[in-house]
Amino acid sequence: MELGLILYWLIFYSALAGWYARTAPIIRDNNRVDFNKYMIPRILLPHVMAGYILLLIFHAFSLLHENRWVLIFPIVATLASTEYFWIRLGSIRSKIVESITVKLGLLTLGVLIFFYFSAVSGMHLELLTKVSPSVFGPFETLLTFTLSSVAWIVLVQLSLTAFSIIYMIKLYLDKDDYIENLLFVFVSGLTAGFFLVLGTKAIFSNAIPYIFDEHFVEHMYHPNQGLDKKVICSNRELSDQIVLLPSGGISIATLNNEDKWVFTVDVCEREVNNASQADT
């Protein structure tokens, strides 16, 4: 741990000292330098690069597995630089969003994404349960809304980030002497995009399966028993999780040996009321 701390601060202060030695005369001779705009990114950048370099060093010598604490440095530095990046791009993004063309484009993108995930959600439910997805209307709506919202937000943020970076490069090419260091812009931009994509992947890979495994059957299926405590389908066990289908059959959810839900379709045999038989 001591070696990692020494390496981290050595790399950080070396990068910071090198930058300051090169830019100190410019800062000292110009009273118009905006500290928040000019200094903060150039302080954050050595932190980010030092964290990444330290991570690569530990990985190269196969020390990362036993020293997971090293991940704290790049994570904290990355979060700090990404937060500043989003704040700094706030005014630029607001100018971009004011465009009618951009608004219409984002709205159209949202509609297309919603219809796409509506079709995907319905198809997934149909293949999973082997019945029409309309039977699970509330769950299908929730799934569609969740998937489309996450995808739309991520694509909008990535698009606005890309437009903002292009705008900042344009300022740099227009000889704006105090634009953020382009290396910092690219590092923070790529990091922000990485976190967005990683978060989206986590939602699609973990959250959606979790919803299906833990909540789909719980909220869409019920035991083979009515409110009067009588069995609904006499050919099924009382503890079976079922849902009645418009055709008169039932969809059944059962747990397999791996604690995964398996769905089948069966007929529902109703018990004949004895009083009704006597009347006939």
Distance, in Å, from the CA atom of 106 to the CA atom of 100, rounded to the nearest integer, reads: 10
Residues 256 and 156 in one domain: no
- Same-domain status, 261 and 209: no
pLDDT: which is higher, 39 or 114: 114
Same-domain status, 172 and 67: yes
Q: Does residue 211 sit in the same domain as residue 236? A: no
- Give the per-residue pLDDT at 10: 59
Q: Where a domain ends, among 218, 249, 269? A: 218
Could you tell me if 172 and 240 lie in one domain? no
Averaged pLDDT, 30-38: 60
Q: Are residues 155 and 18 in the same domain?
A: yes
- In this predicted structure, which of 93-97, 114-118, 228-232, 272-276 has the lowest mean pLDDT? 272-276
- Cβ-based burial of 32 (10 A; exposed 0-12, middle 13-18, buried ≥19): exposed
Express as a percent the part of the chain with pLDDT over 70.
78
| Residue-averaged pLDDT of the chain | 77
Residues 233 and 187 occupy one common structural domain = no
222-223: strand order across its sheet: 222-223, 241-244, 250-255, 261-266
- In this structure, is the dihedral angle defined by the CA atoms of residues 150, 153, 156 and 161, taken in order, positive or negative? negative
The reply to whether the predicted model has a pTM over 0.95 is no
Which residue is it, tokens 């991520």? 154
- Provide the number of structural domains found in the chain: 2
Residue 26 is predicted with a pLDDT of 57
What is the per-residue pLDDT for 2? Answer: 52
Q: Which of 15-29, 31-45, 154-168 has the lowest mean pLDDT?
A: 15-29
Q: Which of 200, 218, 236 is the last residue of a domain?
A: 218
Tell me: do 230 and 194 sit in the same domain.
Answer: no
pLDDT of 276 strictly over 50: no
Is residue 159 domain-shared with residue 136, that is, in the same domain?
A: yes
Residue 261 three-state SS: strand
Are residues 118 and 255 located together in one domain of the fold? no
pLDDT at 221 over 90: yes
Kindly tell me if the per-residue pLDDT of 244 is higher than 80. yes
Range of the domain at 85: 2-218
Beta-carbon contacts of residue 249 (< 8 Å; ≥ 6 apart): 265, 266, 267, 268
